[in-house]
Amino acid sequence: MATIIKHYRSWGRFPKSTPKQVIPVQWRSELPDFNAIEGTVLPFGYGRTYGDVCLNNGGTLLDTTFLNRMLAFDEENGIVCVEAGVSLEDIVSFIVPRGWFLPVTPGTKYVSVAGAIANDVHGKNHHSAGTFGCFVTRFELVRSSGERLICSPDENTELFKATIGGLGLTGLITWAEFRLKPIPSRLIDVERIRFENLGEFYEIDDESVEDYEYTVSWVDAMATGEHLARGVYMRGRHFDPPLPSNGHLSLPEVRVPFDLPSVLLNKFTLKAMSSGFYGLNFRKESRSIEHINPYFYPLDSIKDWNKGYGTRGFLQYQFCVPDKDRKAVREISKTIANSGEGVFLTVFKRFGDLESPGMLSFPRPGITYALDFPNTPTLENLLSRLDDMVLEAGGRLYPAKDARMSARHFQAFYPNWQEFARYVDPKFSSSFWRRVTGETAC
Amino acid sequence: MLKMMIVGATSAIAQETARCFAADGASFFLVARSQEKLETLKNDLIVRGANDVYCFALDLNEFERHRELVDAAIQAMNGLDSVIIAHGTLTDQRRAEEDFEYALQELNTNAISVILLLTIISNHFEEQRKGSIAVISSVAGDRGRGSNYIYGTAKAAVSTYLQGLRNRMAKAGVNVLTVKPGFVDTPMTADVKKNFLFASPEKVGKDIYEAMKNKRDILYTPWFWMGIMMMIRNIPERIFKRLNM
C-alpha cells in the first residue's frame, strides 16, 4: 500500500459527517473506558460502507484498524481466528497460498473482518453459500458495561444473531473466528455470456445456479425497450486441476489521485461507460481462466476509485426483491432505464435461500440489484419512487449501501427492527441508526 | 533462519517490519514493557510463518538489565543475527520545557537507552563479524525545530551515534541502518490531523524490511522525505529561526 490518508468518511463520501473524536483501539487489553466517553460511540474500520452506517456524526469513532493481528490458524481444518481490524486482504494473501479461501467475499478485500460481520456481507456465491455470517463460529463482543462476551451459535446466541448484520451497534467486536473453504488452485474458470434482455438473463440464470458456484451479471441499466436490462452474465467456479503455482500474480496498481471534476460525469459519458461494459463483451460467449484477485476484486486494483465520482460523491442503491413472478424486477428495471438518470456499474444477481443467523441480515431469496448513481439534484425523485416499488414488491434496501432511506421505509423493510433494537448497546449509535429510528440525540 | 531481536516490538512500525520477516520464517526475540501485548504479537507472528518467538518484558530505561537482555536473546535463539530498535515516545515539547524530570526521562528513553543497548550488541556483532542493526530514528533529528526539539535532540543523538557506529562496524562486516520515517499513521500520532504526507505503518515496515535485506545505510521512508529534509536542512539559520515549525 502506498501512502494513505485517513478521513473517517464513508466510501460514497456522502453524507458529509464529522466525528467529535476518534479513539484508536490498538490492544484488546487496553480498551477505552466507555463510560468516560461523552455521547455515543461506533466502531470504524476501513470505511467501505457507502452511506452513513459507519458514521457517527458528532459522536465518537473507535478506529479498530490497529487491532490487526492474527490469533490462530488451523491449517488442517481451515479455521482462522483474527482480531477485529484484520482486513480480508491480509487474510486472503495469507491463506490462498495455503490452499484456502474466504467462504464468502464482498467485491473488495479492503474491509475488516468485524465490518464483514457487522454488515453480514455477501458475494457472488450467495446462491450456493449464503452470507459471511453463516461461516462465523464465534467472536468476542465487548459491551459498554465492560462485559466481555463470547458469542457463538451456542453461547449468547441472541447477541450472536443480533451482531451479525448488526451494523456495529451491539458492542465492540474485538476478535472473530470463522471457517474458510478449501480451493484446488488460485484460479477461477469464468464464462461470460451476453444476454439481450431480462428474459435471456433468466434463461441463463436458471441453467447456471445449480452448477456454478459464482454467478453475477453486469447490466446496462440505461438500455430501454427490447434491450431492457441487457448485460453480461458471468459464471465461475474454482479451476481444477491446479496449474503449477509460481508465486503471486499481481497487477500494477492504478490509483485515482485526485477528484475528477464532476462535469466529466454526465448522462452521455455514463451511457457510454454503461453500454461499454456490454459492448466489451463483443462475442456472445467467452471463457477464461482468471486469478482470484482480478476476478473477485476488479476494482481493488484502482485505489480510491470512488474519487472518480468527484467531490459531490455518489450513491449506491442496492435492494433485493422476491421474483416469483418476475414482474417487479421488470417494472423496476423499466423505471430506472426511463428515468434519464445516469447510472454506472450496475450489478445484478440472484440470492439463494440459505438463511443467515443475522437478525438484521439483508439478503432474501430473489434478485438483488446494485446501482451506482452520481449524486445529482434530481436523483432523489427516482430513488424515492424505487423505495416504494421495492417495498410493494416485498423487498428491502441494503443498509451498508444506504445514505437516504426514510425511517418509515427501513421499518417496513426490516419489520423485526424493534426486536433487534433490544440488543443495541445503549452507548452505541450511528448516523444511520438515528436516521432510520427517528432518534435525534447523539 | 534469521534470528532477530526486536526492541520496542509493540510499536506499529516494528510490528509491520516483523511480519515481513515472519513470512520468511525468521525467529524472534521480542522486547517491550507489556508481557500481555508481547503474547499477542507472538501469536500473530507464528500464524504468519515465524519459526520461533520468545518474549521478554522490560522497560529499556532499566539500563542495568541491558546485558541480561542481550544474553537472554542469544541463549533463547542460540545466536543473534539481526536487531531492530524501535522503542520510543513522542515527547510533549511544552512539558519538557517546564519539567526537568520529564525531559531527562524522554532523553533517556529516546537516546541514552538506545545508545547503551547498542554498545553491548555492537561488541557482540563485531566479535562474531556479522550482523545487522536497524534503528528507528526520525526526520525530526535532521534539524531542531521549536515545536519538538527535545525529541529531535534525542533522535539527532541516535543518528549521529549510528553514523559513527556504521563507520566502525563496516570493518567487521556488520550493517547499520538508520531509519528516518516521516509522519506515520500510528496510534502514537492519533491526535495529529492527517494529511497527504502521512504513510501507513505497513508501507514503512515494508520499506525497512527491504532496506535491511539490501544492506542500506540510511532510509528515509516514504522516500520523498529525503527531498523534504534536504530542503529543510538547507534553509539558512537566520531565516529558519523566524519560521514557525
Q: Give the CATH number, domain containing residue A341.
A: 3.40.462.10
From the list B48, B197, B222, the residue facing A70 with the nearest CB is B48
Q: Is residue A157 part of a domain?
A: no
Which of B44, B189, B224 is the best mutation test for A, with the most CBs of A within 10 A? B44
Please check whether residue A441 touches B, CB under 8 A.
no
Q: Per-residue pLDDT for A307 more than 90?
A: no
Q: Per-residue pLDDT for B9 more than 60?
A: yes
Question: What is the spatial distance between Cα B51 and Cα B27, in angstroms, rounded to a whole number?
Answer: 5
Quickly count: other Cβ atoms within 10 Å of residue A228's Cβ: 20
Structural domain harbouring A217: 187-402
Q: If you measure CA to CA, which chain B residue comes closest to A8?
A: B194
The pLDDT tens digits for B34-82 are: 999 999 999 999 999 999 999 999 999 999 999 999 999 999 999 999 9
Contacts of B199 in chain A (CB under 8 A): 3-4
SS3 A325: coil
Q: Is residue A319 part of a domain?
A: yes
Please check whether residue A254 touches B, CB under 8 A.
no
Which of B46, B200, B220 is the best mutation test for A, with the most CBs of A within 10 A? B200
Contacts of B198 in chain A (CB under 8 A): 3-6
Do the Cβ atoms of A70 and B44 come within 8 Å?
Answer: yes
Question: Which cell numbers in the block locate residue B163?
Answer: 553514523
β-bridge partners, A369: A319, A348
Q: What is the model's pLDDT at position A128?
A: 95
Greater confidence, A409 or A438?
A: A409
Scanning the structure block, which residue is given the C-alpha cell 451482531?
A: A163
What is the full DSSP assignment across A67-123?
A: ---EEEEETTTTEEEEETT-BHHHHHHHHGGGTEE-SS--S-S-SBHHHHHHTT---
pLDDT average, residue stretch A86-110: 95
Q: Is residue A161 part of a domain?
A: no
Q: Per-residue pLDDT for A292 more than 70?
A: yes
From the list A3, A24, A28, the residue facing B203 with the nearest CB is A3
Specify the pairing of strand A366-374 against strand A344-351.
antiparallel
Q: What is the model's pLDDT at position A377?
A: 87
Q: What is the model's pLDDT at position B225?
A: 92
Specify the pairing of strand A396-397 against strand A314-321.
antiparallel
Q: Is residue A11 part of a domain?
A: no
CB neighbours of B120 closer than 8 A, spacing ≥ 6? B66, B67, B70
- Name the amino acid, one letter, at A431: S
Beta-carbon contacts below 8 Å between A and B: 58
Percent of chain A with pLDDT over 90: 69
Q: Per-residue pLDDT for A277 more than 70?
A: no
pLDDT band at B197 (very low <50, low <70, confident <90, very high): confident
Contacts of B37 in chain A (CB under 8 A): 27, 29
Q: What is the model's pLDDT at position A276?
A: 58
CB neighbours of B231 closer than 8 A, spacing ≥ 6? none
Q: What is the pTM of this model?
A: 0.89
A316 contacts A380 by C-beta, under 8 angstroms: no
The shortest C-alpha distance from A171 to chain B (Å) reads 21
Q: What is the model's pLDDT at position A10?
A: 84
pLDDT band at B192 (very low <50, low <70, confident <90, very high): low
Q: Per-residue pLDDT for A410 more than 80?
A: yes
Contacts of A66 in chain B (CB under 8 A): 12, 186-187
CB neighbours of B202 closer than 8 A, spacing ≥ 6? A1, B16
Q: Is residue A413 part of a domain?
A: no
Contacts of A69 in chain B (CB under 8 A): 40-41, 43-44
Q: Per-residue pLDDT for A343 more than 90?
A: no
Q: What is the model's pLDDT at position A246?
A: 46
Question: What is the spatial distance between Cα B134 and Cα B139, in angstroms, rounded to a whole number?
Answer: 15
From the list A28, A69, A73, the residue facing B41 with the nearest CB is A69
The pLDDT tens digits for A197-234 are: 999 999 999 999 999 999 999 999 888 889 998 999 99
Q: Is residue A80 part of a domain?
A: no
Do the Cβ atoms of A24 and B43 come within 8 Å?
Answer: no
Question: What is the spatial distance between Cα B157 and Cα B154, in angstroms, rounded to a whole number?
Answer: 5
Which of A69, A71, A94 is the best mutation test for B, with the most CBs of B within 10 A? A69
Question: What is the spatial distance between Cα A163 and Cα A63, in angstroms, rounded to a whole number?
Answer: 18
| Residues of B engaging A, defined by a Cβ cutoff of 8 Å | 12, 34, 36-37, 40-41, 43-44, 47-48, 185-187, 190, 194-200, 202-203, 222
Q: Per-residue pLDDT for A250 more than 60?
A: no
Contacts of A22 in chain B (CB under 8 A): 190
Q: What is the model's pLDDT at position B244?
A: 84
Q: Tell me how many domains chain A contains.
A: 1
Do the Cβ atoms of A66 and B186 come within 8 Å?
Answer: yes
pLDDT band at B185 (very low <50, low <70, confident <90, very high): confident
pLDDT average, residue stretch B216-236: 93
Greater confidence, A16 or A394?
A: A394
Do the Cβ atoms of B222 and A3 come within 8 Å?
Answer: yes
Do the Cβ atoms of B48 and A28 come within 8 Å?
Answer: no
Closest CA to B28 of B43, B16, B45, B11: B45
Rg of chain A on CA atoms, in Å = 21
Question: What is the spatial distance between Cα A425 and Cα A337, in angstroms, rounded to a whole number?
Answer: 42
Q: What is the model's pLDDT at position A302?
A: 67
Q: Is residue A438 part of a domain?
A: no
Q: Per-residue pLDDT for A249 more than 80?
A: no
Q: If you measure CA to CA, which chain A residue comes closest to B224?
A: A3
Contacts of B223 in chain A (CB under 8 A): none
Q: If you measure CA to CA, which chain A residue comes closest to B36?
A: A29
Q: Is residue A361 part of a domain?
A: yes
Q: Per-residue pLDDT for A269 more than 50?
A: yes
Please check whether residue A26 touches B, CB under 8 A.
yes
Q: What is the model's pLDDT at position A442?
A: 46
pLDDT average, residue stretch A15-32: 90
Quickly count: other Cβ atoms within 10 Å of residue A366's Cβ: 23
Q: Could you say which residues from 57 to 86 on chain A have a Cβ atom under 8 Å away from some Cβ of chain B? A: 63, 66, 69-73
Q: Per-residue pLDDT for B14 more than 70?
A: yes
CA dihedral A401, A404, A407, A408 (to 10 degrees): -100
CA distances, A83 to each of A88, A151, A158, A343, B76 (Å):
11, 15, 22, 37, 28
pLDDT band at A288 (very low <50, low <70, confident <90, very high): confident
Please check whether residue A317 touches B, CB under 8 A.
no
Q: What is the model's pLDDT at position A342?
A: 81
Q: If you measure CA to CA, which chain B residue comes closest to A3?
A: B199
